[in-house]
Each structure stands twice: as structure tokens, then as C-alpha cells.
Amino acid sequence: MKGKYLKGKKIEYDGSQLSPLWAFMNFDIQGNSIVSFRGPCNIKEEYMVDMADRKNKVKISSPDMVHFVLELFGYDILKTVLTQRLLISAVMDTIRDLALDEDADVERENDNIYGYPPGEDDRGKLSVSVATCSPISGLIHLGLNITAKGTPVRAVGLKELGIQDIDGFVVEVEERFISEMNGIEIDSTKVRPVI
């Protein structure tokens, strides 16, 4: 699996990035990949793949997010969703390890991450995420608010949770996730079948 952080390249995530071969066609990254970048989020209706959100006319936007876009070849929807949850676990572990304030905390509900800033009892939504499939691959998007300002729902950002070095955080998430994926591949090739 290949990883690439487009550091310093501001890209607005509008949902069109969740398409087969996006990383290859735009950044020459071929094969299974995780590409991350920073920029606003404003998902256009025609690119919305969560039909519950589309049916309910949910507005998904944020002025400043970190985005992770994954493509996994040969994955079905179940394997893609399971991998999405693994990515979310890597993000939560990284927040807990890198947050400057030990009172900040995060929790997961399905594919959503919620955060409790230090000294607050009410949680805010940190993430937006979706997993889907193309005819050739599984596709995942995970966006994380940098700050809670300007979001359409009660939110929290990485900065409110004590993550000040956003670039370092992104690189750490990518490295942990790739290591986990590589470990899964190695572990799946070292056991004998049971008959």
C-alpha cells in the first residue's frame, strides 16, 4: 500500500475525488493507496454516495479539514467498510497519543468520530466518512475538522482536541494505517489452513 500526503496543496473535497483511479490519474500513485490533503469540504449532491444523507438533504461542509482518500483494488463493500473502521481506529489512537491535553478524548459510533475537548461534557462531531465501491475497487473518504468554526452541526476540531501539528498528525495516521495493512497481509500469509 502506498501513502502520499499532499502537504501544502489545498484541495476542496467535493466528493468527486471518491472515484476509481483518482490517485493514479492525478498523482501517479498506482495500486492500493491512501492520499491525504488539507482543504475545505463541500460535498456536491451529485457526488453524495450515502443515500440516507442524500434522501435527508444533509449538508456536509467544513471550511478546513484534513482528508484521507483511499482506493483498495478488488475489495467488496464489506471489506471496504471494515477497512474504513480500521482507519478510524488508527486516527483515534493517533489523537490519543499526540493530543497535548490528556483530558481530550474521542469515541467512535459506527463510522463517526466524536470528540470531547478538555473541560467540556458535550461532544462534537470530528469526522465525516463514507465507504463505497467502484467496479474495480473499494473507495473510502475520511475528513477531520481542523477547527469547529463554520460547520453546520455541533462539531469539534483537531486543534480543540490538542493536536497542533496537523502535518505531523497526518503523516503519523498514514504511517500507522499502512503499517496495520501491511501487518494484516503478512499475518494472512503465515498460517496453515485447518482442514
Q: 128-138, pLDDT tens digit by residue?
A: 999 999 999 99
Quickly state the pLDDT bin for 158 (edges 50, 70, 90).
very high
Average pLDDT over residues 57-70: 91
Helices in 7-148 by DSSP H: which ranges? Answer: 22-27, 51-55, 77-98
Per-residue confidence at 99, pLDDT binned at 50, 70, 90?
Answer: confident
Cβ atoms of residues 32 and 72 within 8 Å: yes
Q: Which pLDDT score, from 0 to 100, does residue 124 have? A: 94
Does pTM surpass 0.85?
yes
Q: Please report, for residues 14, 59, 104, 139, 162, the alpha-carbon distance to residue 71 in angstroms, rounded to integers and kept in the order given.
A: 17, 24, 31, 5, 30
Which residues pair with residue 65 across a beta bridge? 39, 145
Domain boundaries, the chain: 2-187
- Give helix 166-187 / helix 77-98 axis angle, nearest 10°: 130
Helix (H, G, I), strand (E, B) or coil at 98: helix
Q: pLDDT-based confidence at 93, cuts 50/70/90?
A: very high
Residue (of 177, 169, 143, 180) closest to 68 by Cα position: 143
pLDDT above 80 for 152: no
The stretches of the chain forming alpha helices (DSSP H) are 22-27, 51-55, 77-98, 166-187
Dihedral of alpha carbons 87, 88, 89, 91, sign: positive
Class of domain 2-187: alpha beta
> pLDDT tens, 33-63?
999 999 999 998 889 898 888 888 888 889 9
Average pLDDT, the chain: 93
pLDDT at 61: 85
| H or E element at residue 125 | strand 124-125
Q: Which of 25-29, 41-45, 98-102, 123-127 has the lowest mean pLDDT?
A: 98-102
pLDDT at 20: 98
Say how far apart CA 167 and CA 141 lie, in whole Å: 18
Tell me if residue 159 falls in helix, strand or coil. coil
Which residue is listed with cell 463541500?
42
> What residue type is assigned to position 168 of the chain?
G
Q: Is the dihedral of CA 155, 169, 10, 31 positive or negative?
A: negative
